[in-house]
Amino acid sequence: MAKMRPTFIDSPNFVMEPDNWHLTDNATEEEKKQIVDYRLEKSKKTLEDAKKVIELEMWVTAANRLYYAAYYAVSALLISNNINAKTHDGIIRMFNQHFVYAGKIDRELARQYNSL
């Protein structure tokens, strides 16, 4: 089955920079929903990849896949809460500021994410 191209990619509110796909502040709720759904699906698939390479004892690749599974999920969380971050470091900072320090996410879970 061929992969379908996400429709948000064609939006003028979508910015595709190297390693930095994001929506502008003018993005519609539908565009936000589409990118959130896309990132959550990507997170699930990446987590499945991590499980496979763990079985093969490919530890460096597993750590990479675990990081990206968490990254995609956290970026979806931020977008769904109208929090815009444009870099990996920005995503971590915004996650910590809005969810960890605010007591919405357990600090131990955040520590694990931050250690990836």
Q: What percent of the chain has pLDDT over 70?
A: 93
pLDDT at 80: 94
pLDDT per position as a tens digit, 27-44: 788 888 988 999 999 999
Q: DSSP 3-state assignment of 5? A: coil
In a domain, 13, yes or no: no
pTM summary value: 0.85
Where are the alpha helices (H) located in 5-104, listed in sequence order? 29-55, 59-80, 88-95
In a domain, 7, yes or no: no
pLDDT at 57: 96
Count of the separate structural domains present in the chain: 1
**15 - beta bridge partners?**
22
Domain extent for 44: 28-115
